[in-house]
Chains A and B, each alone.
Chain A
Amino acid sequence: METTEPYGDRLARTEWLIAELRQRADSCEDPHERTNLHRSADALVRLATSLRP
């Protein structure tokens, strides 16, 4: 059951989301929230890795 979004678009969007989450983590002062943001980015790294040919 595939998503309707083309792979290339989804990969580009996922990579943008990873960069955005890491940027937020870097400027976050709450250590717990910072860890959450990094871990959310990690989940998207796993997705981006699965999308790459």
Chain B
Amino acid sequence: MTVDQIQSALQHHNAGRVIPAAAPHTLPELLTQHARAALSLSGADQSAWNGQIVEAGDGILGLAHWDGTLHLDREFILAPLHDLYARAGESRPTTTLARYRDALLTLLHEQSHFLGPHGATQEAARQAFHTLGAQALEEGVAEAWSHTHLDAYLHHLAIPHHAPGIEHVATRPSYQSYVPATLALTNYLDHRRSQPPGNTLHLLNRQTTEGQWPLVVDLLYRSTTLPRRVPPLQEPEVRHHLESHLRTAFQSLEVLQFLPQDLAAHRSRSTLHAALTTLDQDLARLTNAFPRAQERARHSPDDELELTR
């Protein structure tokens, strides 16, 4: 019977027949309301989700398709979420709560892919997705952000009311090839910018793939003294150099996907730490290569001539 109820929930939702409640009490209500909760939590301007949900095929668990449709697997996502409301309020074993939690994490992760600023398009994001290091950063941001905001998301949707104890179940992020590197980069930028932990991750999550690397480089560049040193004509070249260095490090993470999770996490972290050490050296070199205007004046030949007079 669960099969029919899931089909029915999808049809009900996709036909737009669900009237949103203050908080969802059924699977169709959750399907209709989960995206708005993600958008609200993220602070992004818009979501590219077209409102449609289909049952995933081909072994896919969850997929934010470029056409705006959300694909969700029956066994791992839709059935646990149906069960969550069918047995609302009952006490359940940790393994069951962990299944619910994983399913809700996937919902938030996939919705994170659809978020973006005003005017962003999925076509531009799709084009940017296969540029150097873009996929690794985008997946890393979606997973790290979803994981750190999952409890807030659950409360937003009143999930603990239906599944008591779910907020105390520990789950671990997937994408260990990408998440530690993403956190190393965003923590580094938080520190450089004197912002609270998580700030850069939150800002990146509001961007589509198109805007993520440009934002990283902009935040990095403005955290240095380079804007006051580099002549405007040379600024694009300096930014390109910094961006290329970080993108190359992220591109190299792709091969880690075949490693066991712990080893992938270790390599992901160490790859970024090495890249950030080189970056610091590069920034110091650039700072010396572009002295401030007063330093330039102090060392200019005219100045030296003046001193010898």
Binding site for B on A (CB under 8 A): 1-3, 7, 10, 17, 20-22, 24-25, 32-33, 35-36, 38-47, 49-51
Q: In the complex, which residues 212-256 of chain B have their Cβ closer than 8 Å to any Cβ of chain A?
A: 213, 240, 243-244, 247, 251
Q: Are B60 and A47 in contact (CB under 8 A)?
A: no
Number of chain B residues close to chain A: CB under 8 A = 36
Q: Determine whether B270 belongs to the interface, using a CB cutoff of 8 Å to chain A.
A: no
Q: In the complex, which residues 135-160 of chain B have their Cβ closer than 8 Å to any Cβ of chain A?
A: 135, 139
Q: Determine whether B102 belongs to the interface, using a CB cutoff of 8 Å to chain A.
A: yes
Q: Are B132 and A1 in contact (CB under 8 A)?
A: yes
B139, B213, B240, B243: residue with the most chain A Cβ atoms closer than 10 Å:
B139
Tell me, in angstroms, the Cα distance from A20 to B126 when the chains sit together: 24
Please name 12 pairs of A and B residues whose Cβ atoms are closer than 8 Å in the assembled complex, sorted by A.
Answer: A1-B247, A3-B131, A10-B130, A25-B59, A33-B261, A39-B61, A41-B59, A43-B135, A45-B60, A46-B113, A50-B126, A51-B130
Q: Return the contact of A43 from the options B58, B130, B131, B139 (Cβ within 8 A).
A: B139
Tell me, in angstroms, the Cα distance from A41 to B251 when the chains sit together: 17
Tell me, in angstroms, the Cα distance from A50 to B258 when the chains sit together: 22
Q: Are A35 and B76 in contact (CB under 8 A)?
A: yes
Kindly list chain B residues whose C-beta atoms are within 8 Å of the C-beta of A49: 65-66, 126
Kindly list chain B residues whose C-beta atoms are within 8 Å of the C-beta of A51: 130
Tell me, in angstroms, the Cα distance from A17 to B298 when the chains sit together: 58
What are the 6 A-B residue pairs with the smallest beta carbon separation, nearest first? A39-B174, A50-B129, A36-B174, A50-B126, A43-B139, A1-B132
**Assuming A1-B247, A21-B257, is B61 touching A36 (CB within 8 A)?**
no
Q: Return the contact of B66 from the options A22, A41, A50 (Cβ within 8 A).
A: A50
How close is A2's CB to chain B, nearest CB, in angstroms? 6
How close is A13's CB to chain B, nearest CB, in angstroms? 10
Tell me, in angstroms, the Cα distance from A17 to B135 when the chains sit together: 14
Kindly list chain B residues whose C-beta atoms are within 8 Å of the C-beta of A42: 60-63
Q: Return the contact of B131 from the options A2, A17, A21, A22 (Cβ within 8 A).
A: A2
Q: Are A17 and B130 in contact (CB under 8 A)?
A: no
Kindly list chain A residues whose C-beta atoms are within 8 Å of the C-beta of B135: 43, 46-47
Q: In the complex, which residues 51-105 of chain B have their Cβ closer than 8 Å to any Cβ of chain A?
A: 58-66, 76, 102
